[in-house]
Amino acid sequence: MIEVNPIVLPSWIGNKAVFQQNVPFVIEGKAAPSATITLEISKDPTDGRKVSKLDTDYGVILSLETTTSDKGKFRFNIPAYKASTDTYTFVFKCFQNVVSFNDIRCGDVWVFLGNDFLSIPMKNAQAPKTPFKRHVMTNLRFFTPSRTGLESDEEDMAYEVKTHYKEAGWIKITDTKALANVASSAFAFAYTVADQVNYPIGVVDLSTPGSTILNWISDEVIENQTALHDYIEELGLITDEERYKALIKKDRKTRHEEQVKNDVSEGRKNLNIDLDKEKELGEIMGETTATENIEAAAGLDFPSSKDSTFNKKITPSDDNGSTTKNLDFDMMSNMQVKTGKGVKDIDDSQYIKKKFRPSTLYRCKLAALSGLSVRGMCFSPEAEEQLFGRYDLLLMGLLGTLSQTFEPKEVYDDALMPSFLIVTMHPKCVDRDFPYKVLEFNENLREFTGKLNMPSGLISLHDLLLPDKTKTFTLGVRLAVIAMGLHITPKMPKSCPECVGVEKAGNKLILEFENLADGLRLAEGQTELRGFAICGEDRIFYPAQARILHGVRVMVWRDDIEEPVSVTYGFAPFPHDATFKNLNDLPVMPFRFDRLPAFYAPDLYFRSCDDLEMIGMKEWGGEFEVLKVFRTFKGNGVISADNMNKTEGSASLHIRYETENSLYGFEPNLDYASLMGPQIIRNKHKLVVDVFNPDPVKKELRVQGFVTVEIRQSLNWQRLEIEWNKDEDIVLENLKFTIVDASKNGEIYFDNIRFL
């Protein structure tokens, strides 16, 4: 009896699949060698209506036949089809083998890959309370391989490229158990787009936590892009097969040691001692037996060394000014190691963390999707990627890999060109040693996308600081808005709004923006436009006033700067006051108009006296939370915001207090980690504050580091100018305001704190 080979097809085609509309595509596979294989595609309406046999749009719409090669390979060229909610069936036949795929749809296919917010599954997130529409949900399809890249029979990522998934398949909304593992941002994206276009949206959800861009770039691209290869080699990360297998051996050894430690710990806890494992643990920990210890102790006095290198912090060299050397590769590798025959153990000096191993996720997740036609791709970087000195080379490597993997590779109609959407780095990724690196990284992303000849856009989450399980859904919606602007509705924004021009008018700067859609607006609950700063010829930036003009421009100024030369918006590691958006709810991207050397404005959020709370990080490495802007440090007081009695902005501070020894003191909280203290106010020597004293008594105001001034008895706002008592820049570790009042209690208003 002759054995007939099974029909092997690409992983991306299967039951419930979505294929890309408006582009022809190719299905390549393997079957019996030198055999006839056929493909029949039929189409049926999903609304149940009867269709005439003469209607060529339904029933069997395509029949193809070809002969496999002597190695069993075959290829079918499928014409372009228009998006619809109709159902397709693909039937392949070769001898007695028949493979049939049902419930296939034609629509748009998107790929999500990377890390961070794109990899958080539905089960770990929370959808907004808005009810979902049933007819939209039926148009959603997801292809989600194992999140780690390892299938059930795999312990480690192989060096060999995986050509087919064993366990992955397309899922739809009724597959609730599998749906829980779909990335929440992918779901929100698909739902938002499908709600507008009313045809199927498929998302290939590949995002992997703990990954970096290096994992996604293919070996072939690294080899062919000389500059990229040289850069990765300079980092000591080039990994051939032999070295990779040595790394895997080291991984397995580490896992085994951890398992032995856990087993011994559990055994001791349950009084179930395994002597063999106890002995193995001793060997792992480098321990000796009791007899060996006694013999060794006879001739030793057990000296200890305070100069041990284990007690010293090793600072990475930074000869070329690149912070890449500070990447936690554990450890940086010299790479040029010959292991001889077989795979030897690899030591710590040659070990590379999994997230810095090139091509691993390409081999186990991306390569198996070769030939899939897509509408676009979304990528999110990992925190440590900001430290790569040549991230542009890595992005070119990623784009080269994606173009190598997905179709269409040749585009004759610009409307069919796949797009590339990038999520900018979130403020939670700020590195304490290099706090402005996140901002520079996002600037470089903007420059990179601006040079691409393909549709591209940037998505920012800088305005979403608080921990919130709906944040990833918000990201999905923002991605969807930009995707529709790039491919479906030209009037919608194609990226988050960005400043593209500055015009000077007297002492004011008029800013122009792109991707406004229907215009700009203040964030919900805000009455003042904040986050802007300007500088004069001295290149020292100070917080500035700003106003939206006719919903499309912004005017920025500062009364004491007559000749402004540059402007920034939200240009701080933690831009908590950069909250204004366009009418599509996309936040305006933080920016600086030039990169000339400058002293950037410190975070003086307290100065407006409009808010009693801010979003910040109390300690480094902590979560963002709602923090108090002001606190009482002497006496007792109730600090509230008064929206009626004020000189500027939306409110003033209204303080009712009880004195302690005729003193009441309050201060802004300047010790939060996210304020990046101390606050340095350059080239200013005077503190100015507006004060209203409703009490019929005179008072004094003492400010630490400044001279004391009198608060008059007056039912009018008073402008108090308080001189700095040093001949140097104002440096604020704290800013303590103390009111001297002979009365036991009183009240006072403060507003518009500034430095002149």
pLDDT tens sequence across 335-383: 333 333 345 567 676 899 999 999 999 999 999 999 999 999 999 999 9
CB within 8 Å of 417: residues ≥ 6 apart: 411, 454, 455
Topology of domain 108-227+359-487, CATH: Rossmann fold (3.40.50)
The enclosing H or E element of 406 equals none
- In this prediction, residue 737 carries a pLDDT of 97
The tens digit of pLDDT for each residue in 478-520 reads 999 999 999 999 889 999 999 999 999 999 999 999 999 889 9
> Which residues are 532's β-sheet partners?
569
Question: In this model, does residue 541 exceed pLDDT 80?
Answer: yes
Cα separation, 577 vs 588, whole angstroms: 12
pLDDT in tens, 652-701: 999 999 999 999 999 999 999 999 989 999 999 999 999 999 999 999 99
Quick one: CATH architecture of 613-755?
Answer: Sandwich (2.60)
Q: What is the pLDDT of residue 55?
A: 67
pLDDT score recorded for residue 478: 97
**Closest Cα partner for 748 from 721, 722, 715?**
715
Q: How far is residue 573's CA from residue 601's CA, in Å, rounded to a whole number?
A: 11
Q: Which residues lie below 8 Å from residue 143, measured CB to CB, with a gap of 6+?
A: 12, 17, 168, 169, 170, 171, 202, 203, 204, 205
In angstroms, the CA 224 to CA 403 distance is 14
Domain boundaries, the chain: 108-227+359-487, 498-601, 613-755
Mean pLDDT of the chain: 88
Residue 300: pLDDT over 60: no
Q: What is the model's pLDDT at position 435?
A: 92
The tokens of 483 are what?
């995707």
With contact defined as beta carbons under 8 Å apart, do 362 and 404 qualify? no
DSSP 441-495: HHHHHHHHHHH-SS-EEEE--TT--S--TTHHHHHHHHHHHHHHHHHT-TTS-SS
Residue 37 has pLDDT above 90, yes or no: yes
Asked if 366 and 216 touch (Cβ cutoff 8 Å), the reply is yes
> Are 622 and 672 spatial neighbours (Cβ–Cβ below 8 Å)?
no
Separation CA 532–CA 545 (nearest Å): 7
Interatomic CA distance for residues 462 and 596, integer angstroms: 24
Give the mean pLDDT of 149-167.
Answer: 91
* pLDDT computed for residue 262 by the predictor: 82
Using one digit for the tens of pLDDT, what is the confidence trace for 457-466?
A: 999 999 999 9
541 to 22, 683, 733: CA distances (angstroms): 51, 11, 20
pLDDT band per the 50, 70, 90 thresholds, residue 127:
confident
pLDDT digits (tens, 9 = 90+) for 201-234: 999 999 999 999 999 999 999 999 999 999 999 9
Beta strand 636-642 with 737-740: parallel, antiparallel or unpaired? unpaired
pTM of the model: 0.89
Q: Name the amino acid, one letter, at 749.
A: Y
To 10 degrees, the CA torsion angle through 587, 593, 599, 601? Answer: -30
> Is residue 292 predicted with pLDDT exceeding 70?
no
pLDDT in the model for residue 52: 66
Task: Note the pLDDT of residue 130.
Answer: 79
What is the Cα–Cα distance from 394 to 396, expressed in whole angstroms? 5
Q: Estimate the share of the chain in helix, then strand, then coil, as percent rounded to the nearest 5.
A: 25, 30, 45
pLDDT in tens, 305-342: 344 333 333 343 444 334 444 554 443 333 333 333 34
> Average pLDDT for residues 90-112, to the nearest whole number?
96
For the segment 122-145, the average pLDDT, to the nearest whole number, is 91
For residues 390 and 290, the model is more confident at 390
pLDDT tier at 263, thresholds 50, 70, 90: confident
CA max distance for the chain: 111
Work out the number of other CB atoms within 10 angstroms of the CB of residue 128: 11
